[in-house]
A = this chain, B = another copy of it.
Amino acid sequence: MSETRLSSAELPEPSLDEDDRMKPEFVSAVLGHVDDGDTEAARALVEPLHPADIADLFELTPVERRRALAAAISDLLDADVFAEMNEHVREGLIDALDPAQVAEIAAELDTDDAVAIIEDMEEEDQRAVLRALDPDDRAAIEEALSFPEESAGRLMQRDLIAVPEHWTIGNVLDYLRSNEDLTTDFWEIFVVDAQHKPIGTCKLSWILRTPVEIAVADVMAREQTLIPVDMDQEEVALRFQKYALISAAVIDPLGRLVGMITVDDVVHIIQEEAGEDILKLSGAGDGDINEPVLESYKARVRWLIANLGTALVASSIIAIFEGTIAQMVALATLMPIVAGVGGNAGTQTMAVTVRALATNQLTQSNTWRTISREIRIALLNGSTVAVVIGVGVAAVFANPALGMVIAAAMMTNIIIAGLAGVLVPLALDRRDIDPAVSSSVFVTMTTDSMGFLAFLGLATASGITG
């Protein structure tokens, strides 16, 4: 592209606001031209955009108008735009294309992006697209599809620069200059031994700064992080983040170099993996606003039904104390406070524990320290909240005994909440169950049930109702 994309600091970009969000007026203007059949005007607006912004434009266009937009700006809707698009939006557009068109898009992309587009298609369509590809592309994509979903094998590119260890910097430069077919999408080169096993990496800046007669083996970094081809993408992302990698070699089970992952392919995974815990904890599934309504409904209603089940447990505990409540209805008024604040305290601890587990900060070495830390925080929180509610209830109801009961119940429940918030995710993690997915149900059940039990139980035992 010939246009310079200037930052908002220098010249306001007409299509984006200061927070890099696409302006509604811009979206309306483009769609207005599409409706009027003025495709030239629509194209003129869209042409200066980065592929990622064109992808955003489609996401912001109502579902039923996306195909008309695609038809109007079809020549600007290139493979890069599809690669940047939200998967639900992309699926909607890809479904309208025939396999030959999809194959044309896939052929232009890096293997990892092509795989991302093809892997979600139905098997029959997938086969049709693969048949329409030329043999090299087809082989590369079929090989990638043979690795598990969300593994390094699906993320990696096969286009990379690998050189033998006996080469000099001069050999490398000649090789890079004389081979037109080589990729330009690399930031480091890999040095391999006779078995094609990676033995070191060389940043391009080192190659540029080193005299040509020096051997590659003398400038390369022998310390390198290798990614097994079947490694889960979440682990890949954690490694890139921890070791501040720009690219990394992917190796097969025999240790041979089979591909390369670059940081730009990993950045969105880091963001997704870190962001999805909040959605999982709330039971919102994928939580993508572009997901079809029925899919969101299916993902969410399961957790609401599970929550209904745990609410019934709490409810049955209240039922035990119906006699006590009948004697003193104020207990029914106050009991949700004990359960609710306990639930909040449990959620705090649970969120901290889930994040610490996800980022590998919480390991066997510091498990007991973390549990004891949460107990101390719970004691402090519990005392504070118990005093506030105890004094308040004693005063408002002119009943010091009732104040004592609710204070003791609150203290008890916040300590139980702290324990449940740290122990439930830990126990799930030990059993290799993702703690973000199911902790909430157990923690809420515990804090609700124990809140009601502690409050109504203490009220009954203390005899304040009589």
A272's closest neighbor in chain B, by CB? B274
User: Which residues does chain B contribute within 8 Å of A1, judged by CB atoms?
Assistant: 222-223
User: Which residues does chain B contribute within 8 Å of A68, judged by CB atoms?
Assistant: none
B184 touches A255 (CB 8 A): no
CB under 8 Å from chain B, chain A span 250-307? 251, 253, 255, 263-264, 267-268, 270-272, 274-275, 277-279, 281-284, 287-290, 293-294, 296-297, 300-301, 303-305, 307
B385 touches A336 (CB 8 A): no
B380 touches A301 (CB 8 A): yes
One of B341, B354, B452 near A278 (C-beta < 8 A): B354
Give min CB distance, A434 to chain B, whole Å: 13
One of B20, B186, B278, B369 near A277 (C-beta < 8 A): B278
Interface segment, one of A93-101, A122-130, A201-209, A457-465: A201-209
User: Which residues does chain B contribute within 8 Å of A311, judged by CB atoms?
Assistant: 336-337, 340-341
| Interface status of A240 (Cβ within 8 A of chain B) | yes
Interface segment, one of A32-40, A71-79, A141-149, A314-322: A314-322
| Interface status of A213 (Cβ within 8 A of chain B) | no
Give min CB distance, A80 to chain B, whole Å: 10
In angstroms, Cα B270 to Cα A272, docked, is: 10
Q: Which of A2, A205, A225 has the most CB of B within 10 A?
A: A205
| Interface status of A211 (Cβ within 8 A of chain B) | yes
User: Interface code A218-252, partner B: CB below 8 Å = 1, 0 otherwise?
Assistant: 00001111111001000100111111111000010
User: Which residues does chain B contribute within 8 Å of A235, judged by CB atoms?
Assistant: 19-20
Give min CB distance, A83 to chain B, whole Å: 9
| Interface status of A70 (Cβ within 8 A of chain B) | no
User: Which residues does chain B contribute within 8 Å of A340, judged by CB atoms?
Assistant: 307, 310-311, 314, 444, 448
A173 touches B208 (CB 8 A): yes
Give min CB distance, A27 to chain B, whole Å: 5
| Interface status of A433 (Cβ within 8 A of chain B) | no
B60 touches A253 (CB 8 A): no
Work out how many copies of this chain go into the complex. 2
A271 touches B209 (CB 8 A): no
Give min CB distance, A262 to chain B, whole Å: 8
User: Which residues does chain B contribute within 8 Å of A28, judged by CB atoms?
Assistant: 365
B211 touches A388 (CB 8 A): no
Give min CB distance, A76 to chain B, whole Å: 15
A359 touches B275 (CB 8 A): yes
A9 touches B228 (CB 8 A): yes
A10 touches B350 (CB 8 A): no
One of B8, B205, B334 near A184 (C-beta < 8 A): B205
| Interface status of A438 (Cβ within 8 A of chain B) | no
30 of the cross-chain contacts (CB-CB < 8 Å) are A1-B222, A2-B222, A5-B223, A6-B226, A7-B251, A19-B235, A86-B361, A176-B208, A177-B208, A187-B204, A187-B246, A204-B204, A270-B274, A272-B274, A275-B277, A275-B355, A275-B358, A278-B278, A287-B351, A288-B352, A289-B356, A293-B380, A300-B348, A307-B344, A308-B385, A311-B337, A311-B341, A315-B337, A332-B332, A336-B339
